[in-house]
Structure 1
Amino acid sequence: MLTVLGVSAEVKAEYMAVARAQATEAAAWRVIRRLGYHRKQEQIRALESSMTRLRLFQPSLIPGLLQTPEYVRGVFETKGLSQDQSTRTISARMDRQRVLYDTGKRLHFTLTESVLRWRLLPALMMAAQLDRIVSVSRLPNVDVRVVPLDARQTRVPGHSFSISDDRVVTVETVHAELVVTDPRDVSLYVEKFEHFASAALAGDDMRAKVTAIRDEFFREQESG
């Protein structure tokens, strides 16, 4: 429209910058905490119920949809929640996992190997968490991939993000959650996800890697 109107390049750039800013929303974690993390989980569940395809890249933690209750508790214990808040949040996050069994949706998860080794829980609980990932990966509509640490890489992972139906990207930063809808920005995340997904282990190779790490946790537990 701006081109048709014949505006100058300078004015066009200003309008485009404003439009791009409007297509990015930020919600500070302190505000989300005040409203209740369980309410945030319900909001995410509503988005997941309406989408048909999810692509999630995670270099920091096990994705929420793949977490065991113990892992969820470990994540939210770091946030200093009360017992009631913690219980409600864990329940809301676990309730989200029903989407895994909706065969009308395609769920793609790409994790870095470091996520599997990050010791958020004791060894036995970490082993159970990795068992959960292997189990979920066998669902027909779920694709779980792991980028191995010993593979040569040409990019750095950066931060976690999720892409819903190529329309909405959610990015978690230290201070806030960003929601991005500008198609140009969304395409950047799509390209980054596909890059790491193509560099990751999939199928039986992925399960062999996860199982090997799980067995390391088992041996650690047994050795005391």
Structure 2
Amino acid sequence: MVGRARDVNRAQLGAALRALRMASGKEAKAVARSALMSPSKLSKIENARLAPSAADVERILTAIGVSDEVKAEYTAAARASATETTAWRLLKRIGTHKGQQAAGALEAQMSMLRLFQPALVPGLLQTPEYIRAVLRRHSLSEDTLIRTVNGRLERQSVLYDGTKSLRFIITEPVLRWRIVPPQVMAAQLDRIASVSRLPHVDIRVVPLGVRQYDFANHAFVIRDDRMVTVETVHAEVVVTDPRDIGLYIGKFEGFEQAAVSGDDMLTLVAKIRDGFLRQQETG
């Protein structure tokens, strides 16, 4: 008897799909054809050599002919298992500039971005000098560094796509964390202020002086309501389980309420920018 979907983990999902297919009496080739995939792909999924996406699972179960209830349960199980972690060392081996291309492709497809960043200026808002300072910690070759900087700058074209809603929340330490010389930080803050004036872009800052009821654990990006990308010290984590996505949306909205926006945000940014300019004059 096939176990309930809530009892099926990622390793067992393929076996559960195979058991459901066999119980239906349908041959693998017929199911694969109806599910719009090759028989080899179905075989890899059933033998746990390939993790299926939620869409894969839904198509397979539709081809098998299970009830809507069973289909919903197993599709949810696929989403629940779909937390993928890719170590930075692997991304570096593949090519960090290709990572920029992949991120750009996701941003081209989305309609809304919500980004929380407690440590650095978000990549879409960074100046070329700031980008270089951030990327130098990865010990990239000069050629790779240039290609990655250019890739990030190309991604910034999404800022001018008025069909998208772009919402950024950064904490005040982001504005003060001096990883570049004072005059470069001042220019970076001018860049943030400038982009914030775009009608479809909302940039908010969580001030240090405001009482907080949550913790700024780490940066994360929510693309639509379908995917969350989390940057940790060792890896990039991609989350697609709707329940987990809901947690990040709630966290974002909490910080959104604590942040300043509009003229108050611009005043705070200008004050910090002026402080950097004074440092440059006396330095």
**TM class by smaller structure:** over 0.9
How many equivalent pairs are there?
217
RMSD of the alignment, in Å? 1.6
What are the ranges of 5 or more consecutive residues in structure 1 without an aligned counterpart?
none
Amino acid at match of 1:106: S
Q: Give CA deviations for 1:17-55 in whole Å, capped at 9, x if unaligned.
A: 773652100111000000111000000000000000000
Residue among 83, 86, 94 paired with 1:24:
83
Aligned residue in 1 for 2:217: 158
| 1:36-75 equivalent positions in 2, closer than 5 A | 36-75=95-134
SS at match of 1:108: strand
SS at match of 1:78: helix
Task: Summarize deviations over 1:172-203 as a string: whole Å, max 9, x none.
Answer: 01111000000000000000000001110001
Q: Which residue of 2 aligns with 1:129?
A: 188
From 79, 86, 95, give the equivalent of 2:145: 86
Matches of 2:171 and 2:10, distance apart in 1: 33
Name the amino acid aligned to 1:130: L
Question: In structure 1, what is the Cα distance between the partners aligned to 2:254 and 2:212?
Answer: 10
* 1:179 aligned counterpart, secondary structure: strand
Name the larger-Rg structure: 2
Does 2:199 align with 1:140? yes
Cα deviation, residue 78, structure 1: 1.0
Query: What is the aligned partner in structure 1 of residue 175 from structure 2?
Result: 116
TM score, norm. by length of structure 2: 0.74
Match of 2:154 in 1: 95
Cα distance in 2 for partners of 1:194, 1:181 equals 19
Residue aligning to 1:208? 267
* Structure 1 residue 59 displacement after superposition: 0.3
- Structure-1 separation of matches of 2:225 and 2:156: 21
The whole-number CA distance in structure 1 between the counterparts of 2:152 and 2:112 is 19
Long gaps (5+) in structure 2: 12-76
Q: Does 1:198 align with 2:191?
A: no
Partner residue, 1:184: 243
Q: 4+ residue stretches of structure 1 with deviation over 4 A?
A: none
* SS of residue matched to 1:156: coil
Alpha-carbon separation, structure 2, partners of 1:112 and 1:161: 13
Equivalent residue, structure 2, for 1:106: 165
SS class of match (1:39): helix
TM-score (norm 1): 0.93
**Percentage of pairs with the same residue:** 57
- Contact 2:80/2:240 (<8 A) preserved: no
Residue 155 of structure 1: CA displacement? 1.1
- 2:7 alignment counterpart: 14
CA contact (8 A) 2:115 2:168 kept: yes
Higher RCO (CA 8 Å, separation ≥ 6 residues): 1
- Rounded to whole Å, the distance in 1 between the matches of 2:238 and 2:215 is 22
Match of 2:231 among 142, 163, 172: 172
Q: 1:149 aligns with which of 208, 230, 243?
A: 208
Q: CA deviation at 1:12?
A: 5.6
How many Å separate the matches in 2 of 1:13 and 1:168? 21
